[in-house]
């Protein structure tokens, strides 16, 4: 019989032993451990419950249980020595502080470079970053990421090309006469740009400190999408609309401003 256990003296009242069912022998062991206040779990029963609850079969249940047991042993080792656990937490905090200081220093160097570029004879980079920051929800880091990943916006003939570059275009599933109707975004484009757009989309539909929506127009668009789509699908739709806004701002080299849809249609008809 294979058991996952240690010596009796190493157990506390809340300890758990996982055993495999082997005829009637595991029942004898279970009674003995119960007398010492040690909780016993029969592995086969756990596997059957996991497989039934997940509907993913015994193989998946076995892998999941093995993962749980490995993590449980790791946590038990850390919990057995509070000093080691505390040192581990402190080391992680020190590492996070060091990384934060490095990121702050690098961001300051980027700001200095933008200021120098703004004072130069060709302040294209600084102008693009400043223009993007006029879009509600786009901050400095997001603007820098978008400019860095897109490069020269003139290489994109239209906003749909930029959409494909970001990997936010719908994937196509076809085979013979079959055409899929439940398609997802392709994710074949620039991952960093796609992540930046998604973060801007989340920021755009959020609420600021004053209790107002950061971008009320995109929030209204998001709410309408959420009526028939899951939240993440609606956010992708917001990111898709942001691409058209970003493309127009960089192409026209003009700050962002909202125009009423009816007024916009009048301008188009009169042009």
Per-residue model confidence as pLDDT tens digits over 120-165: 888 888 999 999 999 999 999 999 999 999 988 989 999 999 998 9
**Residues, the chain:** 271
82-118 and 57-80 helices, crossing angle to 10°? 100
Same domain (yes/no): 127, 208: yes
Range(s) of the domain holding residue 92: 82-122
* Cβ atoms of 164 and 198 closer than 8 Å: no
Residues 67 and 181 in one domain: no
Looking at the fold, whether 136 and 253 belong to one and the same domain comes out as: yes
252: burial class by Cβ within 10 Å (0-12, 13-18, 19+)? exposed
Residues 116 and 191 in one domain: no
Residue 139 shares a structural domain with residue 72: no
Helix (H, G, I), strand (E, B) or coil at 18: strand
pLDDT at position 175 is 56
Could you tell me whether strands 174-175 and 16-19 are parallel, antiparallel, or unpaired per DSSP bridges? unpaired
Domain stops at, among 51, 80, 109: 80
What are the pLDDT digits (tens) for 12-61?
A: 445 567 777 766 777 777 777 777 777 777 778 888 888 888 777 888 88
Considering only residues 26 and 228, tell me which one the structure prediction assigns the higher pLDDT: 228
Strand duo 39-42 + 178-179: pairing: unpaired
- The total domain count for the chain is 3
Q: What is the pTM of this model?
A: 0.63
Question: Do 195 and 218 fall into the same domain?
Answer: yes
The span from the CA of 165 to the CA of 178, in Å, is 27
* 116 and 249, same domain (yes or no): no
């Amino acid at each position: 019989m294979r058991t996952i256990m240690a010596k009796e003296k190493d157990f506390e009242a809340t300890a758990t032993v996982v055993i495999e069912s082997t005829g009637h022998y595991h029942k004898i062991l279970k009674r003995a451990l119960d007398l010492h206040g040690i909780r016993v779990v029969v592995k086969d029963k756990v596997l059957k419950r996991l497989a039934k609850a997940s509907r993913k079969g015994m193989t998946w249940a076995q892998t999941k249980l093995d993962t749980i047991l490995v993590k449980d042993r790791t946590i038990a080792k850390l919990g057995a020595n509070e000093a080691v656990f505390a040192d581990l937490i402190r080391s992680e905090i020190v590492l996070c502080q060091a990384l934060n200081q490095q990121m702050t220093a690098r961001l300051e160097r980027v700001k200095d470079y933008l200021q120098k570029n703004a004072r130069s004879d060709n302040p294209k980079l600084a102008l693009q970053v400043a223009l993007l920051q006029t879009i509600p929800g786009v901050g400095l880091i997001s603007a820098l990421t978008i400019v860095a990943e897109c490069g020269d916006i003139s290489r994109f003939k239209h906003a749909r090309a930029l959409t494909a570059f970001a990997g936010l275009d719908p994937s196509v599933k076809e085979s013979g006469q079959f055409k899929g109707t439940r398609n997802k975004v392709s994710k074949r484009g620039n991952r960093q740009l796609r992540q930046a757009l998604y973060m801007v989309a989340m920021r755009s539909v959020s609420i600021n400190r004053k209790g107002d929506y950061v971008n009320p127009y995109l929030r209204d668009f998001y709410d309408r999408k959420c009526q028939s789509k899951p939240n993440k699908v609606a956010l992708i739709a917001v990111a898709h609309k942001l691409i058209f806004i970003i493309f127009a701002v960089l192409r026209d080299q003009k700050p962002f401003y909202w125009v009423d849809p009816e007024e916009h249609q009048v301008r188009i008809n009169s042009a």
